[in-house]
Amino acid sequence: MQEDLFKRLVAHCKEYGFVYPSSEVYDGLGGVYDYGPLGVELKNNIKSYWWNAMVKVHENIVGLDSAIFMHPLIWKASGHVDAFNDPLVDNKDSKKRFRADVLIETEIDKLRAKADKEVEKAAKRFGESFDEKLYRETNPRVSDYLQRAEAVEKRLAASLQSGDMADIKAIIEELEITEPDTGSKNWTDVRQFNLMFSTQMSNIAGEEGKLYLRPETAQGIFVNFLNVQKTTRQKIPFGIAQVGKAFRNEIVARQFIFRMREFEQMEMQYFVRPGTEMEWFQYWKEKRMAWHKAITPAEKLKFKDHDNLAHYANAAVDIQFEFPFGFKELEGIHSRTDFDLKSHSDLSGKKMTYYDPELEEHYIPYVVETSVGCDRMFLSVLSNALIEETVPDAQGEDAKRTVLKIHPALSPVKCAVLPIVRNKEELVGKAREIYDRLKLHFLCQYDEKDAIGRRYRRQDAIGTPYCVTIDFDTIEDDTVTIRERDSMRQERIPVSEVVRIVRERTDMANLLG
C-alpha cells in the first residue's frame, strides 16, 4: 500500500479545502465527509463530465432527479429488505465489527500479492529472457499461491450465494485471519446485516410509516420508467441517467471517501430488447472504460468479472482503479435482466411493459446498468493527480513542488490572476479588470499576496491549470504572461486572447469527442 501517498492525500484534501471530516467539532461522524470550497467544484465538474458524456452526447439518454424518499414497498420489490444483507463478524477482543467477505477478500489479495512478489524477484533474476506467463504457470510456489487464492475466492462466492454463514466463519478460521489492528483471532459467528438506514414518516405510526433512505439511485429510475418513456417518447434502446445521494449503513466505513455511509452515485439504466442485453453489456463495458481512460492512465484501470452474481443480474463486471491501497471497484456494470421492472410490476399490480412498434409486441425491457460512485471517482482523480516533483534549475524551498495534475476540464479553478506586485495601483487595477472579465467565463482566483513563486505554488497545489501574470509590460502593450501548470512554461499573449485560450484548453468538450 502506498500509505505515504494516501496519508498525504487525506491531509492535502483537508489543508486546501477539498474534503473535511463531517461534524469535526464533535470529533467527526464515522464514514461521513463534507466537501469544502474546492471539493464541491471538483465534484461538480466530475458530475458534469459524467452527465455530458451520458445525457448530452446521447440523443437516447435522458436525465432524472427522483426523490430520496420512496414508497417502502420499492425496497421489498428490489430485494433490499430481504436479500441484500452483508455478512458481518465481530472481534470479541477488540469489540470491532468487520465485513466477513471483505476480511477474506483482503487475504485473497495478500496471496496474489505474494505471487506477484515472487514473479517480480524472478524477473530481476532472469533479466530479458524472463517469460512471465510461463513462470506463473510452472513455478510451484507461485502457482500454489494463485491456486489457493482462486479456491478461496470460489468458496466465498458459493457461500455468499447460498447464505452459508457457517462456512464463511470456517474460511476465516482456516485462513487464520487476524484482526488487522490487534492480531486477535477471537471471532464471533458470522451474521447477516441489512445495510439500509430507516426513518419514520411523521403521520403514520409503526412499521407502516417506516421509510428507508435509498441505498442506490437505480430504483427511482425503474419506478419512473413508464413516466419517462411516455413523456419523452423514447424508443428502445434508451437510457435514463441520474446523479444523487445514496445511503448504506456500512459496517466498516474505511479508507476515507472510498467507503462512506452517505455518498453519491452516477447511475444510468439502459432499457433494451430482451435477448440483446449481452451486446449492450459489452457496449457499455467498453464505453465506460473509454470514459475513465480519457482522464486516467490505462495501467491504473482494469476489468474484474464478478464470480458472485447478485440475484438480479445475469452478467456483471467492475471497473477497478488502482487506489493507493490497491485495485478496488470504482464502477459496476450489470446486466440486470427484467428483474426490477418485473418485481415492481408484480408487487404494485401496475403493468410495466413497453410496446415495441417494430416487433409489434409488448414486453418488459431488459436493463443494462452502469453505476459509478462520484466520491470514489473524486478519490481516483486526486490519487492520480497528487504529485511531488523536483523543479529543474530551482534552489532551496523552490526546488520541490506539490502539484495536482488534474485534467484541466475537471480542475476546480481554471485560471488565477496575479499582479506581479501588489503596491502599484495601475498593475492591481489592470489585474482586477482582467479578473472581472475572466470570472464571467470560469472560476478564477485573484491573488496578490506573497512573492509570485509562492503564489504559483499555491495554484499548483490546487490544480489550477493556468496562471496569468500582470506586469509592467502589460500597462505598455496589453500583454500578459500565461503559465501552464504541468510544464511550467510561460508564454506572452495579448490580454484579448486570455479568455479564448483558457476556454479552449479547459473545455469539457476536449474530453467528450
Residues 205 and 210: their CA atoms lie apart, in Å, by: 8
- How many CB atoms are closer than 10 A to CB 24? 12
> Whole-number minimum distance, CB 372 to ligand ATP, in Å?
5
What's the gap between Cα 341 and its chain centre? 27
Is residue 53 classed exposed, middle or buried when 0-12, 13-18 and 19+ CB atoms within 10 A define those classes? buried
- Does 375 contact ligand ATP by CB under 6 A? yes
- Does 90 contact ligand ATP by CB under 6 A? no
- Does 153 contact ligand ATP by CB under 6 A? no
Q: Which of 43, 80, 285, 376 binds ligand ATP (CB under 6 A)?
A: 376
Amino acid in position 61: I
* Span near ligand ATP by CB under 6 A; candidates 183-191, 330-338, 352-360, 416-424: 330-338
What is the DSSP secondary structure assignment for residue 53, as one 8-state letter?
I
- Does 263 contact ligand ATP by CB under 6 A? yes
- Does 373 contact ligand ATP by CB under 6 A? yes
What's the gap between Cα 332 and its chain centre? 10
- What is the DSSP pairing of strand 415-419 with strand 444-446? parallel
Nine-digit cell at 67? Answer: 426523490
Q: Which of 19, 289, 372, 462 binds ligand ATP (CB under 6 A)?
A: 372
- Does 265 contact ligand ATP by CB under 6 A? yes
- Does 87 contact ligand ATP by CB under 6 A? no
> Whole-number minimum distance, CB 110 to ligand ATP, in Å?
18
C-alpha closest to that of 368 among 342, 343, 334, 332: 334
- Does 371 contact ligand ATP by CB under 6 A? yes
> Whole-number minimum distance, CB 260 to ligand ATP, in Å?
4
Contact 261, 30 (CB under 8 A): yes
Q: Which H or E run includes 19?
A: strand 19-21
Binding positions for ligand ATP, 177-216, rule CB under 6 A: 216
Residues 384 and 381: their CA atoms lie apart, in Å, by: 5
Contacts of 339 (CB under 8 A, 6+ apart): 311, 312, 313
Tell me whether residue 88 or residue 372 sits nearer to ligand ATP (CB atom).
372
- Mark 331-350 with x for binding to ligand ATP (rule: CB under 6 A) and - for no binding: xx------------------
Tell me whether residue 290 or residue 475 sits nearer to ligand ATP (CB atom).
290
Look-up: residue for cell 407502516? 208
Tell me whether residue 74 or residue 427 sits nearer to ligand ATP (CB atom).
74
C-alpha closest to that of 12 among 489, 295, 325, 378: 378
Contact 420, 471 (CB under 8 A): yes
- Does 251 contact ligand ATP by CB under 6 A? no
Site size with ligand ATP, rule: CB under 6 A = 16
Binding positions for ligand ATP, 471-500, rule CB under 6 A: none
* Span near ligand ATP by CB under 6 A; candidates 11-19, 199-207, 231-239, 369-377: 369-377
- Does 80 contact ligand ATP by CB under 6 A? no
Tell me whether residue 263 or residue 291 sits nearer to ligand ATP (CB atom).
263
Tell me whether residue 219 or residue 343 sits nearer to ligand ATP (CB atom).
219
Q: Which of 250, 277, 338, 471 binds ligand ATP (CB under 6 A)?
A: 250
Residues 463 and 405: their CA atoms lie apart, in Å, by: 6
* Span near ligand ATP by CB under 6 A; candidates 152-160, 233-241, 373-381, 430-438: 373-381
- Does 271 contact ligand ATP by CB under 6 A? no
Q: Is the peptide bond before 72 cis (omega within 30 degrees of 0)?
A: no
Dihedral sign of CA atoms 311, 313, 317, 318 in order: negative
Amino acid in position 491: E
* Span near ligand ATP by CB under 6 A; candidates 19-27, 56-64, 260-268, 465-473: 260-268
Contact 406, 37 (CB under 8 A): no
> Whole-number minimum distance, CB 225 to ligand ATP, in Å?
19
Binding positions for ligand ATP, 290-329, rule CB under 6 A: 329
Residues 267 and 336: their CA atoms lie apart, in Å, by: 13
Residues 126 and 193: their CA atoms lie apart, in Å, by: 50
- Closest-CB residue for ligand ATP? 373
Interacting residue ranges for ligand ATP, rule: CB under 6 A? 216, 248, 250, 259-260, 263, 265, 329-332, 371-373, 375-376
